[in-house]
Chains A and B, each alone.
Chain A
């Protein structure tokens, strides 16, 4: 960053500093004249909005931490004291509480934008991966933060989620004890969670820095998904996009403020205003709304996976790799595909039936013979859903980026969006709820199936076979018409 051309500054003090540490040159280059595609729509506002939310969380969080006490005897009361006695304490807490939700709103839209317009594709793969990393760190931070007020949902949410790790074979229980620092979620857990909750946002800040750095190497994508070819396709970042970003940010903050002042508790759960009680579990434990789709995926796996089922899945996966992912199959000759398909489906069905109806007594299908228990299966499915995002650039290798020019991709992706929202609804309901005559757990499984199918089957398939529409020659021609 040090070398290279330096900008001229009229102000002698700025010039003096810039000669010694070219901070102002850097800002001028990266945020002043930085060439930015001229055709951004409002989806491109959400990166700046997310950045604003991160700063808002850190500022409000640091002030909260000055009044908060991380001790199971005192935590709940210290938060109530913030609400009642600390000057403007209620405001600071509501900013932080609703800020977490709005941070996730911004980041979810930001991710949706990236997927719709193919921003994860070459050369922006690393930029995308850093983004998914930020998302993961945010989830960890928000989960841990929710434990701090030590209400009923804090305690029981933490209990259920940390218990998930006990599903890991052999070392699971030791990991859970290590996380807790005891035999249940208790004081040692709360104090370490507070330390981590303070730390992680700064780790996020560092990854955001790398994310933006990578962005400024490749430049931004745009709604057409074609690269700018010259100055006629771009605008200087300032004042064009500083203005557009500010305008969008103001609208977003107005909405955020409406929640802070008029509906501050509408996104939270009332049970978290009951002090944590290790002897009573609330009848219906739900995570915060931004975790619900992943929670639904976790709960969708209600069956154990035994040796037949996994063998069937392995067979299907091999077929997928050979005949959908690869241009030409390498290991399996085409005539064998159908018998393998039938055999795999048969094995998977046999395993599933054996697990659902243990009275049939099919050998090796008893619960204790399961290679992957339902609990472990759920945990794997949930984390796998995020791993799929990490490898997305290699699952969708279609040369066209923007969904505008790929109708098949567009509709299967919009369906994924609907499925994801519906998974959120399923996650919010009790486990034994039904949607009309259909049990929700079945719908959850179907939706999880589509989520996985979209990434593992539809994307590689479309990468090879979708023709797509003709791309415009250049951004300025598409935006200004032929006359330009």
Chain B
């Protein structure tokens, strides 16, 4: 028996109680950790199944013909389960939107960053406060203090560019991704 072997033997037989406990702690910890990892692996697909399904995501683009909208008129289209407001703005409304000092706004965006063609404003018609639908698309609706939209739920006012000007909403009405397929057809999504 070589020296090395003998040393090894002493090390291996020197199992004190402490070693034994440390070994058990280690086994318990690793087994427990494996259990947690396993549970997380099972939980992930279950929770993720609650996220939007593929067919829900597939409803992602629509085409809208806007040739029927005269200046000053607006209409509402459903996109991803949400209303999209499409507004044909009058020169006066465009001017109002452009003349605002951006620094005074809560959510600082110039009108030019929110439209592709000044006559056409396309925004998601969901109040950025708690998700109500603001009114203002019909001429008979309230338009708020800034000639745009008014949210009846907690009183947010939006201007002719769909920017929040007053009330609890933190952000401007969102602009969805869209493009002009032709002069009178807009593809949203």
Residues of A within 8 A of B (CB): 156, 159-160, 162-164, 177-184, 186, 188, 192, 278-285, 299, 302, 359, 367-368, 373-375, 431-432
Task: List residues 87-141 of chain B with CB under 8 A from any CB of chain A.
Answer: 104, 106-107, 126, 129-133, 135
Candidates A181, A367, A374, A375; contact of B50 at CB < 8 Å: A181
Question: Can you name 12 extra interface pairs (CB under 8 A) apart from A178-B51, A285-B132, A431-B155?
Answer: A178-B47, A178-B50, A180-B52, A183-B82, A184-B80, A188-B53, A278-B78, A279-B76, A281-B152, A282-B152, A302-B168, A375-B168
Candidates B50, B107, B154; contact of A431 at CB < 8 Å: B154
Do residues B130 and A163 form an inter-chain contact, with CB atoms below 8 A?
yes
In the A-B complex, the 4 residue pairs with the smallest Cβ-Cβ separation, listed nearest first, are A184-B81, A183-B80, A163-B131, A281-B132
User: Closest approach, in angstroms, between the C-beta of B149 and any C-beta of chain A?
Assistant: 12
List the count of A-B residue pairs having beta carbons below 8 Å apart: 84
Do residues A183 and B51 form an inter-chain contact, with CB atoms below 8 A?
no
B83 adjacent to chain A (CB < 8 Å): yes
A188-B56, A432-B155 known; A375+B129 contact, CB < 8 A: yes
User: Closest approach, in angstroms, between the C-beta of A53 and any C-beta of chain B?
Assistant: 30
User: Closest approach, in angstroms, between the C-beta of A159 and any C-beta of chain B?
Assistant: 5
User: Closest approach, in angstroms, between the C-beta of A352 and any C-beta of chain B?
Assistant: 16
A160-B132, A373-B170, A375-B129 known; A278+B56 contact, CB < 8 A: no
Do residues A281 and B168 form an inter-chain contact, with CB atoms below 8 A?
no
What is the predominant secondary structure among interface residues of chain B facing chain A? Answer: loop
A178-B51, A367-B106, A431-B154 known; A186+B130 contact, CB < 8 A: no
User: Closest approach, in angstroms, between the C-beta of A155 and any C-beta of chain B?
Assistant: 10
- Sorting the interface of chain B by its residue count into under 10, 10 to 19, 20 to 34 or 35 or more gives 20 to 34
Closest to A179 in B: B50
| 13 CB < 8 A contacts A-B | A159-B130, A160-B153, A181-B50, A181-B56, A182-B80, A183-B56, A188-B52, A278-B78, A282-B152, A367-B106, A368-B106, A375-B130, A431-B155
Please, which residues of chain A bring their CB within 8 A of the CB of B151? Answer: 281
Please, which residues of chain A bring their CB within 8 A of the CB of B52? Answer: 177, 180-183, 188
Do residues B152 and A181 form an inter-chain contact, with CB atoms below 8 A?
no
In the complex, A359→B152 CA distance in Å? 26
Residues of B within 8 A of A (CB): 47, 50-53, 56, 76, 78, 80-83, 104, 106-107, 126, 129-133, 135, 151-155, 168, 170
Closest to B106 in A: A367
A159-B130, A183-B81, A302-B168 known; A284+B51 contact, CB < 8 A: no
Do residues A181 and B51 form an inter-chain contact, with CB atoms below 8 A?
yes
Do residues A374 and B130 form an inter-chain contact, with CB atoms below 8 A?
no
In the complex, A284→B133 CA distance in Å? 12
Please, which residues of chain A bring their CB within 8 A of the CB of B106? Answer: 367-368
In the complex, A431→B151 CA distance in Å? 12
In the complex, A66→B32 CA distance in Å? 42
In the complex, A17→B23 CA distance in Å? 48
User: Closest approach, in angstroms, between the C-beta of A149 and any C-beta of chain B?
Assistant: 20
Do residues B152 and A283 form an inter-chain contact, with CB atoms below 8 A?
yes
In the complex, A326→B155 CA distance in Å? 44
In the complex, A299→B167 CA distance in Å? 12
